[in-house]
Amino acid sequence: MSELKVLIVGAGLGGLSLAQGLRARGMSVAVFERDASPWVRPQGYRLHLDADALNAAREILPADLHAVFEATAQYTEPFTTILRTDLSVAKRLPTLDEHGEGVWPHDDGPAAHANVDRATLRQILLTGLDGIVHYGKKLDRYESTPEGVTAHFADGSTAHGDVLVGADGIRSAVRAQRAPHCDTVDAGITAIYGRIPMATAEPLVPAEALTDIFTVATDERKVFLGLGSVRFPSSPAEAAARFAPNMSLRDQDDYVVCIVGGRHEYFPDDEGRLRTCSGAELRRTAAETLQRWPSAASDIVRSGDPSAFFLVEMYTSVPTALDAPTNVTLLGDAVHAMTPTLGRGANVAMRDGTLLARALGEVSAGRATLGEALTVYERDMLAYGFAVVREAAQTGVRRMAQNPLPE
Ligand SMILES: Cc1cc2nc3c(=O)[nH]c(=O)nc-3n(C[C@H](O)[C@H](O)[C@H](O)COP(=O)(O)OP(=O)(O)OC[C@H]3O[C@@H](n4cnc5c(N)ncnc54)[C@H](O)[C@@H]3O)c2cc1C
C-alpha cells in the first residue's frame, strides 16, 4: 500500500504528534477535531515533559519548530519536592525514584525534565498543519471494512481513509466502538487548578517550586497543594521571531500553577455545584479547603488570577487487552488515560503518536502490512502505557487517597 491515507480523530497533543510525524514522512493525513477552534476551552497550563515527549519533539518537529520548542522549555532540576503544610521543605525526591522503567530511553545521556506551557506546545504542534486539521468535526461513529474506514461526523459529513486513529481523549468515541470493554473509572479525586503570575507568586512560594519539576504539600487527609512553574527562557513571541518568523505564537508571561485536590468528600459538591462555579468561586473553594493549614498555603491560592481557575475531575483507565487490530487503532488518553500524579499522560500520548507515525511509515514504504504494523504498535503501546497507568494509580493511592484500580 503506497498511498496510505490516515484519519486522526482528536487534535490533542497525541493526535498532533502523530500528524506531525506523518507529515514529516510526506504521508497523507487529516485530523478531525470536535472543538470549534484550539481556544474554546481551558486545557491546562503547565506540563511536565520527560524523555518521552522530549524524544518525540526531536523526532517529529522540523528544525525551526524544534528550536522554538527548546527556546520555550524550562529545563528543571530532576526533583519532586515534598513540602510540609507550612510550606517548609520535607524532602526532595529524585525523579528516577518514581519513574525509571517505562520511560522511553533518552538518546543523549541522562533523562531530562522540562516544564512547558501547554498552549505554546499545542501551537508549535499545530504549525504547518493548515488544511490538515479540521475543526468543528465531532466523530459520531465509524464504519470499517476491508477496503478502508469511513468516519461519520455529527454535522452529517463523512471522511474516508485506509486507517483511522482514535486520539480523542478519555471519553473517546473511537474507543467506544473499537474496544467497548475498555473502561475508565472515577479516581475518587476532585481538584481545582489555577494560575498565578510569576511576579505575584515568586515572593510567596518556596524556591524549589521555581526550579524543580513539581512541589507538593499534603495533609493527614491527603488533601494536597501542588505548585509548578513555567519560566520561559525566551518568551514565546521572541522564540518564534528568532527561529520561525512565519509562525504565529501567542505571547505569554512566566507563571506558577497551583492545584488543590483531595477526595471528593473534601469538596462539597451538591448536585454538581462545582461544575457551574466561576473561576473566582473555585479559587475561594480551593483556598477554603486549605483553611486548616498555616495561612501561607491559602495565600498562594488567593493570589491566583480568578478567571484562570477551573475544575478537574480525575478518572483513570483500567488496564486491559485489545482485540487484534484491523484498520482502527487508538493512542493517548483514548486508551490509557491516567491520573496526573506523575505528570506523564501527555508524554505517553506524544510517544504513542511518534511510534505510530514510524509504524505507518513502514506500511507506506511497503515494508509491513497495516495489520503487522498496528499489531506491533499496539503491543508496545499497551505495555508501556498501562505500566504508567498502574504506576500513576499507585502513587495516587499513596499521595492523595485515589481509589485503587479495580482488580
Ligand atoms: C490537571 C492535569 C495536569 C496534567 N499534567 C500533566 C503533565 O504535567 N504532564 C503530562 O505528561 N501529562 C499531564 N496531564 C495529562 C495530559 O493532559 C493528558 O494525558 C494529555 O492531554 C492526553 O493527550 P491526548 O492527545 O491523548 O488527549 P487530549 O489532550 O484529551 O485530546 C483529545 C482531543 O480529542 C478531541 N475529541 C474528543 N472527542 C472527540 C470526537 N468525538 N470527535 C472529534 N474530536 C474529539 C478533544 O476535543 C481533544 O482536543 C495532566 C492532566 C491533568 C488533568
How far does residue 133's CA lie from ligand 1's centre (Å)? 16
pLDDT for the residue 101: 53
Q: Which atom of ligand 1 is nearest to the CA of 228?
A: 8
Pocket of ligand 1 (CB under 6 A): 9-15, 32-35, 44, 47-48, 137-139, 167-169, 173, 193, 312, 332-334, 340, 343-347, 349
Q: Which atom of ligand 1 is nearest to the CA of 137?
A: 43
Strand partners, 195: 257
pLDDT for the residue 97: 42
pLDDT per residue as tens digits for the range 277-287: 999 999 999 99
pLDDT for the residue 39: 85
How far does residue 166's CA lie from ligand 1's centre (Å)? 12
pLDDT for the residue 49: 95
Give me the residue label for grid cell 475531575. 313
How far does residue 327's CA lie from ligand 1's centre (Å)? 23
Q: Which atom of ligand 1 is nearest to the CA of 15?
A: 25
Q: Specify the pTM.
A: 0.97
Collect the ranges in the chain with pLDDT lower than 50.
Answer: 1, 97-98
- What number does CATH give the domain 5-400? 3.50.50.60
CA-nearest of 221, 232, 200 to 299 is: 200
pLDDT for the residue 272: 84
Q: Output the nine-digit C-alpha cell for 342.
A: 506523575
How far does residue 352's CA lie from ligand 1's centre (Å)? 13
Ligand 1, atom 5: closest residue by C-alpha: 343
How far does residue 389's CA lie from ligand 1's centre (Å)? 14
How far does residue 10's CA lie from ligand 1's centre (Å)? 9
Backbone angles phi, psi at 216, to 5 degrees: -145, 135
pLDDT for the residue 271: 76
Instruction: Report d(CA 160, CA 28) in Å as an integer.
Output: 12
pLDDT for the residue 270: 79
Backbone angles phi, psi at 88, to 5 degrees: -80, 155
pLDDT for the residue 98: 47
Ligand 1, atom 50: closest residue by C-alpha: 340
How far does residue 256's CA lie from ligand 1's centre (Å)? 20
pLDDT for the residue 4: 96
Instruction: Report d(CA 256, CA 303) in Å as an integer.
Output: 11
Instruction: Report d(CA 376, CA 370) in Å as an integer.
Output: 10
Of 32, 33, 50, 115, best ligand 1 pocket probe by most atoms within 8 Å of the beta carbon: 33
Longest dimension (CA), the chain: 64
Beta strand 77-83 with 212-218 is: parallel
